[in-house]
Amino acid sequence: MPNAQLLAVLYMVLSMTSYQISASFAKQLFTVLDPLTVTILRLCFAAIIVCVMFRSWKIISRLPYLKWKDLLCYSAALGLMNILFYMSLGRLPQGIAVGLEFVGPLGLALLSIKNRSDYIWVILAILGIALMVPWGQAANHQFDLLGAACALGAGLCWAFYIFFGQRVVQQNMGMHALTIAISISALCLLPFGLYHNAAAVLDTQHWGKAITIAILATAIPYALDLKALKQLNKMSYGTLSSLSPALAALTGFILLGERIGVLQWIALACIMLASVGVTLRAARQARKAKTA
């Protein structure tokens, strides 16, 4: 496998691991704050962090010349994806919320297929996610239709995030695109948060956890995603993203002592196989392109 593609896969694994760890901190904050407030605090602190990390004030002189249509769509997808997912996470068990959210990127992967042989990997990923979701729990305990709708909406926004993320990458702004997108999302949502619950937004006792979430769930994952999107097409990214539920299950097992059932282990195998298959397929296509 070419080094660039191997690095792209590594970036994605690190991104998803960081995001799943952040979910436990978000769950803790949900006991005292609503999902909208948590999302706003996360995005506000993330905007500051990534701006400092990447010295994004350097991009100010280029702002009038950027393709703002793609940037605004990317920012909207990012902001809506975050708030809808946190709303679903507050109403549904994490496994169900994550499983439903993945309808978005996998749907994008299906639409991006060019070779019939690639269908097997997407089908395996879909089967893995279907087995990963605790449907028995969904039918009998804590299942919320509004939460499911929010998760599906987050999945749709995720698909747009991938699509417009690849367009934004082509503007050669580097990580400054991430700063602009997060800042726009934070500034758009902040007035709603202040109107909804200004006391909670301005309460500094929650800022420590919010900063941790911002680093683990926003600054690190989105920066790594942009790097990965430079090397991976939409189908590869969408299918490789299927590793996230598997990483969530493993994180829960290691850190929280959550047991994984037989069906979940089968799901892990399907998802891992799909991810490996699509990666090797992309690598073969890259080698053929170089030798052609």
Using an 8 Å Cβ cutoff, are 4 and 231 in contact? Answer: yes
Q: Is the pLDDT of residue 195 over 80?
A: yes
pLDDT digits (tens, 9 = 90+) for 48-57: 998 888 888 8
Q: What gap in Å lies between CA 184 and CA 75, rounded to an integer? A: 6
Nearest to 24 by CA among 208, 207, 150, 213: 213
Residue 153 structural domain: 1-289
Residues 32-37 have a mean pLDDT of: 90
For the chain, how are helix, strand and coil distributed in percent, rounded to 5? 85, 0, 15
Q: How many domains does the chain have?
A: 1
Which tokens belong to 277?
């298959």
Residues 123-147 have a mean pLDDT of: 73
pLDDT at 104: 83
Longest dimension (CA), the chain: 62
Which tokens belong to 60?
């100010």
Residue type, 221: P
pLDDT at 217: 86
Strand, coil or helix: 141: coil
* pTM listed for this prediction: 0.79
Q: Which string of DSSP letters, residue by residue, matches 224-276?
A: HHHHHHTT--HHHHHHHTTHHHHHHHHHHHHHH-----HHHHHHHHHHHHHHH
Lowest-pLDDT range, 11-25, 82-96, 112-126, 174-188? 112-126
Strands (E), 45-127: none
Q: Is the pLDDT of residue 141 over 60?
A: no
Q: What gap in Å lies between CA 241 and CA 12, rounded to an integer? A: 8
- pLDDT above 70 covers a percentage of the chain that reads 89
Nearest to 279 by CA among 243, 225, 227, 250: 243
